Amino acid sequence: MTAPLISSTIHAGAQPLPSDGLADVMSQMGLRTTYARDEEIFGQDEETNLVYRVIDGVVRTTRLMADGRRQIGDFYFAGQVFGLECGQTRRFSAEALGDCTIEVMRRSTLESLAETDPGIEPMMMQAIARELDRAQDHVLLLGRKTACERVASLLLEVAGRNGEDEADLPMTRQDMADYLGLTIETVSRMLSQLQSKAVIRFRGLRTFEVCNSRALLRMAG
Amino acid sequence: MTAPLISSTIHAGAQPLPSDGLADVMSQMGLRTTYARDEEIFGQDEETNLVYRVIDGVVRTTRLMADGRRQIGDFYFAGQVFGLECGQTRRFSAEALGDCTIEVMRRSTLESLAETDPGIEPMMMQAIARELDRAQDHVLLLGRKTACERVASLLLEVAGRNGEDEADLPMTRQDMADYLGLTIETVSRMLSQLQSKAVIRFRGLRTFEVCNSRALLRMAG
DNA sequence: CGTTTCATTGAGTGCGATCAAGCCGTGTGG
DNA sequence: CCACACGGCTTGATCGCACTCAATGAAACG
Protein backbone atom coordinates (compact mmCIF):
# COMPACT_ATOMS: atom_id res chain seq x y z
CA MET A 1 0.00 0.00 0.00
CA THR A 2 1.70 3.18 -1.13
CA ALA A 3 0.63 6.77 -0.72
CA PRO A 4 -0.12 8.65 -3.90
CA LEU A 5 2.80 10.65 -5.20
CA ILE A 6 0.61 13.66 -5.44
CA SER A 7 -2.14 14.42 -2.99
CA SER A 8 -3.86 17.67 -2.33
CA THR A 9 -3.43 19.01 1.17
CA ILE A 10 -6.26 21.49 0.76
CA HIS A 11 -9.72 20.07 0.73
CA ALA A 12 -12.49 21.77 -1.15
CA GLY A 13 -15.75 22.68 0.50
CA ALA A 14 -19.08 22.54 -1.30
CA GLN A 15 -18.67 24.26 -4.66
CA PRO A 16 -21.02 25.12 -7.47
CA LEU A 17 -18.46 23.99 -10.05
CA PRO A 18 -16.54 20.76 -10.38
CA SER A 19 -13.27 21.64 -8.71
CA ASP A 20 -9.81 20.59 -7.82
CA GLY A 21 -7.48 22.18 -5.34
CA LEU A 22 -5.87 24.49 -7.85
CA ALA A 23 -9.24 25.75 -8.94
CA ASP A 24 -10.03 26.63 -5.34
CA VAL A 25 -6.98 28.80 -5.03
CA MET A 26 -7.71 30.52 -8.29
CA SER A 27 -11.28 31.28 -7.38
CA GLN A 28 -9.94 33.36 -4.50
CA MET A 29 -7.57 35.40 -6.66
CA GLY A 30 -8.51 35.31 -10.33
CA LEU A 31 -10.01 37.97 -12.52
CA ARG A 32 -12.86 37.07 -14.82
CA THR A 33 -12.95 37.76 -18.52
CA THR A 34 -15.42 36.85 -21.19
CA TYR A 35 -14.58 35.62 -24.66
CA ALA A 36 -16.75 35.38 -27.74
CA ARG A 37 -17.09 32.31 -29.91
CA ASP A 38 -13.78 31.37 -31.60
CA GLU A 39 -11.97 34.18 -29.83
CA GLU A 40 -8.37 33.40 -28.97
CA ILE A 41 -7.57 33.17 -25.27
CA PHE A 42 -3.88 32.65 -25.82
CA GLY A 43 -1.78 31.95 -28.88
CA GLN A 44 0.90 29.46 -29.82
CA ASP A 45 4.39 30.75 -28.94
CA GLU A 46 3.09 33.29 -26.45
CA GLU A 47 4.58 33.45 -22.97
CA THR A 48 3.15 31.10 -20.39
CA ASN A 49 2.74 33.71 -17.70
CA LEU A 50 -0.99 33.25 -17.19
CA VAL A 51 -3.07 30.32 -15.97
CA TYR A 52 -6.76 29.96 -16.74
CA ARG A 53 -9.87 28.27 -15.47
CA VAL A 54 -13.17 27.83 -17.24
CA ILE A 55 -16.10 29.32 -15.34
CA ASP A 56 -18.69 28.91 -18.04
CA GLY A 57 -18.54 27.57 -21.57
CA VAL A 58 -16.01 25.27 -23.23
CA VAL A 59 -12.44 25.91 -24.42
CA ARG A 60 -10.32 24.02 -26.96
CA THR A 61 -6.54 23.96 -27.33
CA THR A 62 -5.32 23.67 -30.91
CA ARG A 63 -2.13 23.25 -32.81
CA LEU A 64 -1.61 24.23 -36.44
CA MET A 65 0.83 22.84 -38.95
CA ALA A 66 2.44 25.11 -41.52
CA ASP A 67 -0.01 24.07 -44.25
CA GLY A 68 -3.08 24.60 -42.09
CA ARG A 69 -3.75 21.10 -40.81
CA ARG A 70 -5.21 21.42 -37.35
CA GLN A 71 -5.07 19.17 -34.32
CA ILE A 72 -7.14 19.83 -31.23
CA GLY A 73 -5.33 18.84 -28.04
CA ASP A 74 -8.21 18.86 -25.63
CA PHE A 75 -11.50 20.40 -24.59
CA TYR A 76 -11.88 22.10 -21.22
CA PHE A 77 -15.23 22.36 -19.46
CA ALA A 78 -16.53 24.45 -16.56
CA GLY A 79 -14.28 24.17 -13.52
CA GLN A 80 -11.22 22.89 -15.36
CA VAL A 81 -7.82 24.57 -15.33
CA PHE A 82 -5.93 25.05 -18.57
CA GLY A 83 -2.88 26.91 -19.84
CA LEU A 84 -0.64 25.64 -17.04
CA GLU A 85 2.53 24.75 -18.91
CA CYS A 86 6.07 24.04 -17.92
CA GLY A 87 7.99 25.59 -20.78
CA GLN A 88 8.46 29.27 -21.48
CA THR A 89 6.27 29.41 -24.56
CA ARG A 90 2.92 27.86 -25.34
CA ARG A 91 2.74 24.77 -27.48
CA PHE A 92 -0.95 25.23 -28.25
CA SER A 93 -3.31 28.10 -28.71
CA ALA A 94 -6.62 28.19 -26.84
CA GLU A 95 -9.95 29.43 -28.16
CA ALA A 96 -13.50 29.67 -26.84
CA LEU A 97 -15.85 27.13 -28.42
CA GLY A 98 -18.79 29.37 -27.73
CA ASP A 99 -19.20 32.38 -25.51
CA CYS A 100 -17.11 31.79 -22.41
CA THR A 101 -16.31 33.17 -19.01
CA ILE A 102 -12.74 32.52 -17.97
CA GLU A 103 -10.86 33.18 -14.77
CA VAL A 104 -7.25 34.29 -15.17
CA MET A 105 -4.36 34.57 -12.77
CA ARG A 106 -0.67 35.26 -13.11
CA ARG A 107 1.52 32.24 -12.91
CA SER A 108 3.95 34.20 -10.78
CA THR A 109 1.23 34.71 -8.19
CA LEU A 110 0.74 30.97 -8.07
CA GLU A 111 4.48 30.50 -7.74
CA SER A 112 4.85 32.88 -4.85
CA LEU A 113 1.90 31.25 -3.14
CA ALA A 114 3.68 27.93 -3.60
CA GLU A 115 6.66 29.19 -1.65
CA THR A 116 4.66 29.59 1.52
CA ASP A 117 1.96 26.99 0.95
CA PRO A 118 3.40 23.50 0.42
CA GLY A 119 0.06 22.35 -0.91
CA ILE A 120 0.17 24.43 -4.08
CA GLU A 121 2.89 22.66 -5.97
CA PRO A 122 1.35 19.19 -5.65
CA MET A 123 -1.85 20.72 -6.94
CA MET A 124 -0.14 22.12 -10.01
CA MET A 125 1.41 18.74 -10.49
CA GLN A 126 -2.00 17.13 -10.35
CA ALA A 127 -3.35 19.52 -12.95
CA ILE A 128 -0.49 18.55 -15.27
CA ALA A 129 -0.94 14.88 -14.44
CA ARG A 130 -4.49 15.04 -15.70
CA GLU A 131 -3.23 16.57 -18.93
CA LEU A 132 -0.73 13.79 -19.30
CA ASP A 133 -3.24 11.01 -18.72
CA ARG A 134 -5.58 12.50 -21.27
CA ALA A 135 -2.80 13.03 -23.80
CA GLN A 136 -1.80 9.39 -23.45
CA ASP A 137 -5.37 8.22 -23.99
CA HIS A 138 -5.46 10.51 -27.00
CA VAL A 139 -2.31 8.87 -28.39
CA LEU A 140 -3.91 5.42 -28.22
CA LEU A 141 -7.09 6.73 -29.83
CA LEU A 142 -5.25 8.38 -32.72
CA GLY A 143 -2.67 5.66 -33.18
CA ARG A 144 -4.78 2.52 -33.10
CA LYS A 145 -8.52 3.16 -33.10
CA THR A 146 -10.83 3.08 -36.12
CA ALA A 147 -12.99 6.04 -37.09
CA CYS A 148 -16.02 4.49 -35.46
CA GLU A 149 -14.14 3.73 -32.24
CA ARG A 150 -12.82 7.29 -32.10
CA VAL A 151 -16.25 8.83 -32.45
CA ALA A 152 -17.72 6.41 -29.91
CA SER A 153 -14.90 7.28 -27.48
CA LEU A 154 -15.64 10.98 -27.75
CA LEU A 155 -19.37 10.46 -27.30
CA LEU A 156 -18.71 8.39 -24.19
CA GLU A 157 -16.54 11.13 -22.75
CA VAL A 158 -19.11 13.81 -23.41
CA ALA A 159 -21.97 11.66 -22.14
CA GLY A 160 -20.01 10.71 -19.04
CA ARG A 161 -19.59 14.38 -18.26
CA ASN A 162 -23.27 14.90 -17.50
CA GLY A 163 -24.62 11.66 -16.10
CA GLU A 164 -28.07 12.23 -17.54
CA ASP A 165 -29.49 10.34 -20.46
CA GLU A 166 -29.27 13.40 -22.67
CA ALA A 167 -25.91 14.88 -23.55
CA ASP A 168 -24.83 18.02 -25.31
CA LEU A 169 -22.07 18.30 -27.90
CA PRO A 170 -20.63 21.77 -27.37
CA MET A 171 -18.34 21.55 -30.41
CA THR A 172 -18.90 21.59 -34.16
CA ARG A 173 -18.29 18.54 -36.36
CA GLN A 174 -15.09 20.23 -37.50
CA ASP A 175 -13.89 20.43 -33.90
CA MET A 176 -14.73 16.78 -33.37
CA ALA A 177 -12.87 15.86 -36.55
CA ASP A 178 -9.78 17.85 -35.59
CA TYR A 179 -9.76 16.25 -32.16
CA LEU A 180 -10.23 12.74 -33.54
CA GLY A 181 -7.82 13.00 -36.47
CA LEU A 182 -10.66 12.57 -39.01
CA THR A 183 -12.65 14.70 -41.48
CA ILE A 184 -16.09 16.17 -40.84
CA GLU A 185 -17.62 13.83 -43.41
CA THR A 186 -16.29 10.75 -41.64
CA VAL A 187 -17.44 12.03 -38.26
CA SER A 188 -20.89 12.67 -39.69
CA ARG A 189 -21.04 9.22 -41.27
CA MET A 190 -20.02 7.50 -38.05
CA LEU A 191 -22.64 9.43 -36.09
CA SER A 192 -25.29 8.37 -38.61
CA GLN A 193 -24.05 4.81 -38.40
CA LEU A 194 -24.20 4.77 -34.61
CA GLN A 195 -27.68 6.16 -34.82
CA SER A 196 -28.84 3.60 -37.37
CA LYS A 197 -27.59 0.88 -35.02
CA ALA A 198 -29.71 2.44 -32.26
CA VAL A 199 -26.66 3.03 -30.07
CA ILE A 200 -27.37 6.74 -29.85
CA ARG A 201 -30.14 9.03 -31.02
CA PHE A 202 -29.85 12.67 -31.98
CA ARG A 203 -32.48 15.12 -30.81
CA GLY A 204 -30.92 18.22 -32.33
CA LEU A 205 -27.67 18.60 -34.20
CA ARG A 206 -25.82 19.01 -30.91
CA THR A 207 -27.95 16.98 -28.53
CA PHE A 208 -27.97 13.23 -28.33
CA GLU A 209 -29.17 10.44 -26.12
CA VAL A 210 -27.28 7.24 -25.39
CA CYS A 211 -29.72 4.40 -26.10
CA ASN A 212 -27.33 1.50 -25.56
CA SER A 213 -24.44 2.49 -23.35
CA ARG A 214 -23.12 -1.09 -23.24
CA ALA A 215 -22.81 -1.12 -27.01
CA LEU A 216 -21.27 2.34 -27.04
CA LEU A 217 -18.68 1.26 -24.50
CA ARG A 218 -17.87 -1.82 -26.53
CA MET A 219 -17.60 0.16 -29.75
CA ALA A 220 -15.20 2.63 -28.14
CA GLY A 221 -12.58 -0.15 -28.07
CA MET B 1 10.05 38.54 -18.14
CA THR B 2 8.72 35.73 -16.00
CA ALA B 3 10.61 33.03 -14.21
CA PRO B 4 9.94 29.48 -15.36
CA LEU B 5 7.28 27.72 -13.36
CA ILE B 6 9.59 24.84 -12.83
CA SER B 7 13.28 25.24 -12.41
CA SER B 8 15.78 22.87 -10.94
CA THR B 9 17.49 24.20 -7.83
CA ILE B 10 20.15 21.51 -7.94
CA HIS B 11 22.71 21.87 -10.66
CA ALA B 12 24.39 18.85 -12.14
CA GLY B 13 28.13 18.59 -12.31
CA ALA B 14 29.95 16.84 -15.13
CA GLN B 15 28.22 13.52 -15.77
CA PRO B 16 28.86 10.61 -18.07
CA LEU B 17 25.16 10.37 -18.94
CA PRO B 18 22.75 13.01 -20.17
CA SER B 19 21.06 14.04 -16.97
CA ASP B 20 18.42 16.10 -15.30
CA GLY B 21 18.12 16.91 -11.64
CA LEU B 22 15.99 13.90 -10.83
CA ALA B 23 18.49 11.61 -12.43
CA ASP B 24 21.19 13.02 -10.16
CA VAL B 25 19.24 12.16 -7.04
CA MET B 26 18.53 8.68 -8.28
CA SER B 27 22.12 7.97 -9.13
CA GLN B 28 22.92 8.46 -5.44
CA MET B 29 20.25 6.07 -4.23
CA GLY B 30 19.14 3.65 -6.92
CA LEU B 31 19.82 -0.04 -7.30
CA ARG B 32 20.80 -1.36 -10.69
CA THR B 33 19.12 -4.24 -12.46
CA THR B 34 19.61 -5.73 -15.90
CA TYR B 35 16.87 -6.81 -18.24
CA ALA B 36 17.04 -9.00 -21.31
CA ARG B 37 15.56 -8.11 -24.67
CA ASP B 38 11.74 -7.80 -24.54
CA GLU B 39 11.73 -8.44 -20.81
CA GLU B 40 9.01 -6.58 -18.91
CA ILE B 41 10.21 -3.94 -16.47
CA PHE B 42 6.75 -3.15 -15.19
CA GLY B 43 3.28 -4.11 -16.33
CA GLN B 44 0.04 -2.28 -17.03
CA ASP B 45 -2.15 -2.00 -13.92
CA GLU B 46 0.74 -2.60 -11.54
CA GLU B 47 1.34 -0.24 -8.65
CA THR B 48 3.37 2.87 -9.35
CA ASN B 49 5.64 2.51 -6.35
CA LEU B 50 8.91 2.40 -8.28
CA VAL B 51 10.66 4.94 -10.47
CA TYR B 52 13.26 3.99 -13.07
CA ARG B 53 16.15 5.45 -14.99
CA VAL B 54 17.89 4.00 -18.01
CA ILE B 55 21.61 3.47 -17.49
CA ASP B 56 22.29 1.58 -20.66
CA GLY B 57 20.07 0.38 -23.49
CA VAL B 58 16.62 1.59 -24.58
CA VAL B 59 13.18 1.08 -23.03
CA ARG B 60 9.71 1.35 -24.57
CA THR B 61 6.37 1.92 -22.88
CA THR B 62 3.42 0.15 -24.51
CA ARG B 63 -0.28 -0.09 -24.24
CA LEU B 64 -2.39 -2.98 -25.48
CA MET B 65 -6.01 -3.00 -26.55
CA ALA B 66 -8.21 -6.00 -25.79
CA ASP B 67 -7.81 -7.41 -29.30
CA GLY B 68 -4.03 -7.09 -29.30
CA ARG B 69 -3.53 -3.78 -31.08
CA ARG B 70 -0.44 -2.17 -29.62
CA GLN B 71 0.55 1.46 -29.18
CA ILE B 72 4.00 2.47 -28.04
CA GLY B 73 3.93 5.57 -25.87
CA ASP B 74 7.57 6.50 -25.94
CA PHE B 75 11.16 5.33 -26.07
CA TYR B 76 13.59 6.09 -23.23
CA PHE B 77 17.33 6.32 -23.79
CA ALA B 78 20.33 6.30 -21.46
CA GLY B 79 19.98 8.87 -18.71
CA GLN B 80 16.21 9.29 -18.98
CA VAL B 81 13.76 8.73 -16.16
CA PHE B 82 10.59 6.72 -16.77
CA GLY B 83 7.79 5.15 -14.78
CA LEU B 84 7.11 8.31 -12.77
CA GLU B 85 3.31 8.45 -12.78
CA CYS B 86 0.74 10.32 -10.79
CA GLY B 87 -2.00 7.75 -10.51
CA GLN B 88 -1.97 4.62 -8.36
CA THR B 89 -1.72 2.15 -11.21
CA ARG B 90 0.35 2.14 -14.38
CA ARG B 91 -1.27 3.08 -17.65
CA PHE B 92 1.50 1.52 -19.73
CA SER B 93 3.83 -1.41 -19.42
CA ALA B 94 7.56 -0.98 -20.00
CA GLU B 95 9.91 -3.41 -21.71
CA ALA B 96 13.58 -3.48 -22.64
CA LEU B 97 14.20 -3.01 -26.38
CA GLY B 98 17.47 -4.87 -26.11
CA ASP B 99 19.60 -5.83 -23.14
CA CYS B 100 19.33 -3.02 -20.61
CA THR B 101 20.71 -1.76 -17.34
CA ILE B 102 18.13 0.09 -15.29
CA GLU B 103 18.36 1.99 -12.04
CA VAL B 104 15.38 1.63 -9.71
CA MET B 105 14.27 3.50 -6.63
CA ARG B 106 11.16 3.51 -4.50
CA ARG B 107 8.83 6.35 -5.12
CA SER B 108 8.31 6.69 -1.38
CA THR B 109 12.02 7.38 -0.96
CA LEU B 110 11.71 10.18 -3.47
CA GLU B 111 8.67 11.49 -1.64
CA SER B 112 10.36 11.58 1.74
CA LEU B 113 13.36 13.29 0.18
CA ALA B 114 10.96 15.86 -1.23
CA GLU B 115 9.76 16.76 2.25
CA THR B 116 13.18 18.03 3.31
CA ASP B 117 14.59 19.08 -0.06
CA PRO B 118 12.41 21.66 -1.79
CA GLY B 119 14.25 21.01 -5.04
CA ILE B 120 12.91 17.49 -5.51
CA GLU B 121 9.31 18.21 -6.31
CA PRO B 122 10.06 20.71 -9.10
CA MET B 123 12.36 18.07 -10.53
CA MET B 124 9.63 15.46 -10.57
CA MET B 125 7.39 18.03 -12.17
CA GLN B 126 9.98 18.63 -14.85
CA ALA B 127 10.23 14.91 -15.58
CA ILE B 128 6.47 14.78 -16.05
CA ALA B 129 6.51 17.97 -18.09
CA ARG B 130 8.86 16.35 -20.55
CA GLU B 131 6.45 13.42 -20.84
CA LEU B 132 3.60 15.81 -21.51
CA ASP B 133 5.43 17.74 -24.21
CA ARG B 134 6.36 14.54 -25.96
CA ALA B 135 2.84 13.12 -25.67
CA GLN B 136 1.45 16.29 -27.25
CA ASP B 137 3.91 16.11 -30.13
CA HIS B 138 2.88 12.50 -30.51
CA VAL B 139 -0.78 13.50 -30.72
CA LEU B 140 -0.08 15.88 -33.59
CA LEU B 141 1.99 13.24 -35.36
CA LEU B 142 -0.69 10.56 -35.07
CA GLY B 143 -3.63 12.85 -35.70
CA ARG B 144 -2.49 14.84 -38.69
CA LYS B 145 0.75 13.62 -40.25
CA THR B 146 1.07 11.30 -43.25
CA ALA B 147 2.97 8.01 -43.10
CA CYS B 148 6.02 9.60 -44.69
CA GLU B 149 5.96 12.56 -42.30
CA ARG B 150 5.68 10.24 -39.32
CA VAL B 151 8.66 8.17 -40.34
CA ALA B 152 10.69 11.28 -41.12
CA SER B 153 9.80 12.72 -37.71
CA LEU B 154 11.03 9.60 -35.94
CA LEU B 155 14.26 9.53 -37.93
CA LEU B 156 14.89 13.17 -37.07
CA GLU B 157 14.40 12.44 -33.41
CA VAL B 158 16.75 9.49 -33.46
CA ALA B 159 19.33 11.33 -35.53
CA GLY B 160 19.11 14.39 -33.29
CA ARG B 161 19.94 12.20 -30.32
CA ASN B 162 23.50 11.57 -31.46
CA GLY B 163 24.65 14.60 -33.39
CA GLU B 164 26.92 12.58 -35.66
CA ASP B 165 26.19 11.89 -39.28
CA GLU B 166 25.48 8.25 -38.57
CA ALA B 167 22.55 7.24 -36.39
CA ASP B 168 21.41 3.99 -34.92
CA LEU B 169 17.82 2.69 -34.82
CA PRO B 170 17.63 0.71 -31.59
CA MET B 171 14.10 -0.55 -32.31
CA THR B 172 12.63 -3.04 -34.76
CA ARG B 173 10.36 -2.00 -37.63
CA GLN B 174 7.47 -3.35 -35.59
CA ASP B 175 8.36 -1.01 -32.73
CA MET B 176 8.58 1.90 -35.13
CA ALA B 177 5.19 0.97 -36.60
CA ASP B 178 3.53 0.70 -33.20
CA TYR B 179 4.96 4.06 -32.18
CA LEU B 180 3.91 5.74 -35.42
CA GLY B 181 0.45 4.19 -35.72
CA LEU B 182 1.39 2.35 -38.94
CA THR B 183 2.22 -1.19 -40.10
CA ILE B 184 5.72 -2.58 -40.58
CA GLU B 185 5.16 -2.74 -44.32
CA THR B 186 4.32 0.94 -44.53
CA VAL B 187 7.31 1.88 -42.36
CA SER B 188 9.57 -0.19 -44.58
CA ARG B 189 8.16 1.38 -47.74
CA MET B 190 8.61 4.90 -46.40
CA LEU B 191 12.20 4.15 -45.42
CA SER B 192 12.89 2.84 -48.92
CA GLN B 193 11.23 5.90 -50.38
CA LEU B 194 13.31 8.28 -48.28
CA GLN B 195 16.38 6.39 -49.34
CA SER B 196 15.48 6.50 -53.03
CA LYS B 197 15.09 10.27 -52.71
CA ALA B 198 18.60 10.39 -51.22
CA VAL B 199 17.34 11.93 -47.99
CA ILE B 200 18.81 9.13 -45.91
CA ARG B 201 20.99 6.14 -46.61
CA PHE B 202 21.04 2.85 -44.76
CA ARG B 203 24.35 1.22 -43.92
CA GLY B 204 22.91 -1.75 -42.06
CA LEU B 205 19.30 -2.56 -41.23
CA ARG B 206 19.55 -0.44 -38.10
CA THR B 207 22.13 2.14 -39.06
CA PHE B 208 21.46 5.09 -41.30
CA GLU B 209 23.02 8.33 -42.36
CA VAL B 210 21.16 11.58 -42.95
CA CYS B 211 22.21 12.77 -46.40
CA ASN B 212 19.90 15.76 -46.66
CA SER B 213 18.84 17.01 -43.24
CA ARG B 214 17.06 20.01 -44.72
CA ALA B 215 14.85 17.74 -46.78
CA LEU B 216 14.27 15.43 -43.83
CA LEU B 217 13.23 18.36 -41.68
CA ARG B 218 10.87 19.57 -44.38
CA MET B 219 9.38 16.12 -44.87
CA ALA B 220 8.73 15.74 -41.14
CA GLY B 221 6.01 18.41 -41.45
C1' DC C 1 -37.33 35.91 -47.36
C1' DG C 2 -32.60 35.26 -48.93
C1' DT C 3 -28.03 34.45 -47.19
C1' DT C 4 -24.75 32.11 -44.62
C1' DT C 5 -23.01 28.53 -41.97
C1' DC C 6 -23.06 23.89 -40.54
C1' DA C 7 -24.25 19.09 -41.35
C1' DT C 8 -25.53 15.06 -44.16
C1' DT C 9 -25.20 12.08 -48.00
C1' DG C 10 -23.40 10.16 -52.38
C1' DA C 11 -19.76 8.96 -55.79
C1' DG C 12 -15.21 8.08 -56.70
C1' DT C 13 -10.28 8.12 -55.30
C1' DG C 14 -6.17 7.06 -52.85
C1' DC C 15 -3.33 6.10 -48.90
C1' DG C 16 -2.13 2.84 -45.99
C1' DA C 17 -3.62 -2.00 -44.59
C1' DT C 18 -3.74 -6.75 -45.70
C1' DC C 19 -2.20 -10.84 -47.85
C1' DA C 20 1.56 -13.16 -49.85
C1' DA C 21 6.14 -14.13 -51.64
C1' DG C 22 10.91 -13.67 -51.37
C1' DC C 23 15.32 -11.83 -49.35
C1' DC C 24 18.93 -11.64 -46.01
C1' DG C 25 21.60 -12.20 -41.88
C1' DT C 26 22.10 -15.25 -38.01
C1' DG C 27 22.16 -19.29 -35.52
C1' DT C 28 22.06 -24.37 -35.23
C1' DG C 29 22.88 -29.03 -36.18
C1' DG C 30 24.67 -32.54 -39.26
C1' DC D 1 32.02 -26.77 -43.83
C1' DC D 2 27.41 -26.67 -45.63
C1' DA D 3 22.23 -27.30 -45.05
C1' DC D 4 18.57 -25.68 -43.03
C1' DA D 5 15.44 -23.09 -40.18
C1' DC D 6 14.08 -18.87 -38.23
C1' DG D 7 13.17 -14.05 -37.47
C1' DG D 8 13.33 -9.58 -39.28
C1' DC D 9 12.87 -6.94 -43.36
C1' DT D 10 11.54 -5.76 -48.11
C1' DT D 11 8.70 -5.79 -52.06
C1' DG D 12 4.57 -6.78 -54.85
C1' DA D 13 -0.50 -7.27 -55.54
C1' DT D 14 -4.83 -6.28 -53.98
C1' DC D 15 -8.26 -4.53 -50.72
C1' DG D 16 -10.85 -1.38 -48.03
C1' DC D 17 -11.37 2.48 -44.89
C1' DA D 18 -11.27 7.07 -44.68
C1' DC D 19 -10.49 11.15 -47.70
C1' DT D 20 -11.89 14.19 -51.44
C1' DC D 21 -15.08 16.35 -54.25
C1' DA D 22 -19.71 17.60 -54.98
C1' DA D 23 -24.56 18.22 -54.18
C1' DT D 24 -28.21 18.72 -51.06
C1' DG D 25 -30.46 19.57 -46.62
C1' DA D 26 -31.21 22.05 -42.42
C1' DA D 27 -30.68 25.70 -39.03
C1' DA D 28 -29.46 30.31 -37.71
C1' DC D 29 -29.53 35.06 -38.79
C1' DG D 30 -30.23 39.50 -40.85
The tens digit of pLDDT for each residue in A88-102 reads: 899 999 999 999 999
For helices B147-161 and B120-144, give the axis angle rounded to 10 degrees.
Answer: 150
User: Which bin fits B57, alpha (ψ -120 to 50), beta or left (φ > 0)?
Assistant: left
Q: At residue B19, does pLDDT exceed 60?
A: no
Is strand D within 7 Å of residue B146 (CB)?
Answer: no
The pTM of the full predicted model, rounded to 2 decimals, is: 0.89
Please give the Cα distance from B105 to B83 (Å, whole number): 11
Contacts 24+ apart (CB under 8 A), B72-76: B72/B175, B72/B178, B72/B179, B73/A136, B73/A139, B73/B135, B73/B138, B74/B131, B74/B134, B74/B135, B74/B138, B74/B179, B75/B170, B75/B171, B75/B175, B75/B179
* pLDDT tens readout for residues B77-98: 999 999 998 888 999 999 999 9
Least confident of A26-30, A140-144, A217-221, B193-197: A26-30
Q: Work out the percent of chain A whose per-residue pLDDT is above 70.
A: 87
pLDDT-based confidence at residue A26 (cuts at 50, 70, 90): low
The pLDDT of residue A116 is 86
Residue B101: CB atoms within 10 A of its CB come to 15
Share above pLDDT 70 across residues of chain B, in percent, rounded to a whole number = 87
A39 Ramachandran zone, left/alpha/beta (phi>0; psi -120 to 50): beta
* pLDDT score of A12: 34
Question: B78: how many CB neighbours lie within 10 A of its CB?
Answer: 18
For residue B54, give the amino acid letter.
V
CA of B158 to C1' of C14 (A): 30
DSSP structural state of residue A44: T
* pLDDT given for residue A18 in this prediction: 54
Q: Which residues of B touch A73 (CB under 8 A)?
A: 136, 139
Per cent of chain B over pLDDT 90 is 71
Reported as a single tens digit per residue, the pLDDT across B131-156 is: 999 999 999 999 999 999 999 999 99
Strand, helix or coil for residue A210: strand
Q: Looking at the predicted structure, is the pLDDT value of residue B69 above 80?
A: yes
- CA dist A22 to A70, A123, A201, B202, Å? 30, 6, 37, 51
Nucleotides of C under 7 A from a protein CB: 6-11, 15-20, 25
Å from the B205 CA to the D1 C1': 27
Average pLDDT over residues B101-114: 89
Higher local confidence (pLDDT), B89 or B120: B89
> What span, in angstroms and rounded, lies between the C-alpha atoms of B155 and B169?
8
Distance from the Cα of B140 to chain A's closest Cα (Å) equals: 6
Residues of A in contact with B124 (CB under 8 A): 5, 125
Least confident stretch, A157-161, B6-10, B51-55, B185-189: B6-10
